[in-house]
């Protein structure tokens, strides 16, 4: 049970990080215009 929660947390973190970086880059590009 615990190991499953850890795997889910790691998968969520791995998926959310690129999304956050992409959002920051997009915002920087939009506001930079």
Q: pLDDT value at position 22? A: 93
Q: pLDDT value at position 23? A: 94
Q: pLDDT value at position 28? A: 94
Q: pLDDT value at position 14? A: 85
Q: pLDDT value at position 5? A: 93
Instruction: Break the chain into its structural domains and give their ranges.
Output: 1-33
Query: Does the pTM of the predicted model rise above 0.85?
Result: no
For residue 32, give the H/E element and its range. Answer: helix 2-32
* Rounded distance between C-alpha atoms, residue 4 and residue 33, angstroms: 44
pLDDT tens figures, 1-33:
799 999 999 898 888 898 999 999 999 999 987
């Amino acid at each position: 049970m615990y190991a499953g929660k850890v795997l889910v947390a790691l998968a969520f973190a791995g998926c959310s990080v690129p999304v956050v970086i992409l959002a920051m880059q997009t915002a920087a590009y939009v506001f930079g215009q």
